[in-house]
């Protein structure tokens, strides 16, 4: 009997040792101390197609690159072409995500446009860095009424008229040829619609920036990340932002300056820069985000927000994120 009891004790000891080793290895997500560890990341695969607003394009490229580091099995194809293209492509099923830089229209909502905000941006009036009256513009800026005269009234104006100087060079006005959030937002600021804007029509944010860079007498408008260099935070070479005399005192106050990207961000965040042209940027689909696309959007609203400052956008507030996450669902 003693022999069998000895064998029984050895078996029990072996079993207990095996159990401790198994627990120590993390079986069931627990350590030997009983503390729960994080479960492995859900493996995702598939293809996500994205198109739309130039305003959101640089941010989306960064999001896609970072997301693919976590989920290498996911392919994300991104193309820019304006907010109008983004929402049209999304509602017609050509893409999984439309990037939109304006408010959704009633007719789009009737087509079951499902949308969430992801970042903030702003549109800024841009001029050539060699503008003939740069000194006066930086000191006094332009007023909203000046922009209305230029883009809506289509008055033939000189830089001298705008700055109360004797400069006789005529102002050359540029606008967007594509249906886009930047143009619609700028028009909304002036109390109009994109189709009301006058000027030389140019395609895309990069197109207007390049046109202004080549034209000493030109004035246009660009989204934040096409007006300022992402790396340096300074204006894109060859371009400057026209400060807006928001309070109408005839001088550009320190908080109204747009010399650097940080100046622009501070002006928007403080409420000094008007809204519009400051606005939210959205991701849109038809009905609801599904599958891998849904997981990507959820990541953008959580971990993806850490890259917003790095790329040079403005974060939406905590309440907006909370509402967006609830809207997207688990």
pLDDT one digit per residue (tens) for the chain, 330 residues = 443 454 444 444 444 444 433 334 443 333 333 333 333 457 899 999 999 999 999 999 999 999 999 999 999 999 999 999 999 999 999 999 999 999 999 999 999 999 999 999 999 999 999 999 999 999 999 999 999 999 999 788 999 999 999 999 999 999 999 999 999 999 999 999 999 999 999 999 999 999 999 999 999 999 999 999 988 999 999 999 999 999 999 999 999 999 999 999 999 999 999 989 999 999 999 999 999 999 999 999 999 999 999 998 999 999 999 999 999 998
With vertex at residue 149, the alpha carbon angle to CA 146 and CA 152, rounded to the nearest 5 degrees, is 130
**Is there a common fold for 46-120+279-328 and 122-270?**
yes
Class of domain 46-120+279-328: alpha beta
CA atoms of 154 and 166, how far apart (whole Å): 21
pTM: 0.81
Residue ranges of the domains in the chain?
A: 46-120+279-328, 122-270
Pairing relationship of beta strands 200-202 and 172-176 according to DSSP bridges = parallel
Residue written as tokens 């939406």? 316
Predicted confidence at residue 41, as pLDDT, reads 59
Of 3.30.70.20, 3.20.20.140, 3.40.50.970, 3.40.190.10, which CATH number belongs to 122-270?
Answer: 3.40.190.10
Looking at residue 15, its pLDDT comes to 44
Q: What does the alpha-carbon distance between residue 238 and residue 210 come to, in Å, rounded to a whole number?
A: 9
| Rounded-to-integer distance, Cα 276 and Cα 161, Å | 26
Do the Cβ atoms of 65 and 92 come closer than 8 Å?
Answer: no
Between the alpha carbon of residue 160 and those of residues 43, 132, 156, 167, 168, the distances in Å are: 62, 9, 12, 4, 6
Q: Which spans in 191-311 are helix H?
A: 205-214, 224-227, 261-270, 291-301, 308-311
CA distance readout (Å), 30 to 22, 25, 181: 10, 8, 50
Q: Report which DSSP code applies to 190.
A: T
């Amino acid at each position: 009997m003693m022999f069998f009891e000895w064998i029984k004790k050895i078996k029990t000891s072996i079993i207990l040792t095996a159990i401790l080793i198994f627990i120590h290895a993390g079986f069931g997500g627990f350590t030997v101390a009983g503390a729960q560890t994080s479960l492995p990341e859900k493996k995702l695969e598939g293809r996500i197609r994205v198109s739309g607003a130039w305003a959101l394009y640089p941010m989306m490229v960064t999001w896609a690159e970072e997301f693919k580091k976590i989920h290498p099995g996911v392919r994300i194809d991104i193309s820019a072409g304006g907010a109008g293209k983004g929402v049209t492509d999304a509602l017609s099923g050509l893409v999984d995500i439309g990037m939109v830089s304006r408010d959704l229209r009633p007719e789009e909502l009737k087509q079951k446009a499902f949308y969430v905000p992801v970042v903030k941006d702003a549109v800024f009036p841009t001029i050539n860095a060699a503008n003939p009256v740069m000194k006066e513009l930086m000191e006094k800026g332009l007023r909203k009424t000046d922009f209305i005269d230029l883009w809506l009234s289509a008055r033939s104006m000189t830089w001298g008229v705008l700055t109360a100087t004797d400069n006789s060079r005529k102002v050359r006005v540029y606008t967007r040829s594509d249906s886009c959030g930047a143009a619609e937002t700028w028009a909304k600021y002036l109390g109009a619609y994109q189709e009301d804007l006058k000027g030389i029509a140019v395609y895309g944010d990069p197109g207007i920036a390049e046109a202004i860079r080549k034209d000493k007498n030109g004035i246009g408008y660009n989204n934040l990340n096409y007006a300022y260099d992402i790396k340096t935070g300074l204006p894109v070479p060859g371009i400057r932002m026209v400060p807006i005399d928001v309070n109408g005192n005839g001088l550009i106050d320190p908080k109204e300056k747009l010399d650097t990207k940080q100046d622009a961000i501070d002006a928007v965040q403080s409420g000094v820069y008007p809204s519009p042209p400051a606005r939210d940027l959205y991701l849109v689909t038809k009905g609801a985000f599904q599958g891998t696309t849904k997981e990507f959007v959820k990541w953008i609203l959580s971990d993806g927000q850490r890259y917003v400052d790095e790329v040079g956008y403005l974060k939406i507030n905590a309440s907006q994120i909370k509402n967006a996450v609830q809207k997207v669902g688990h």
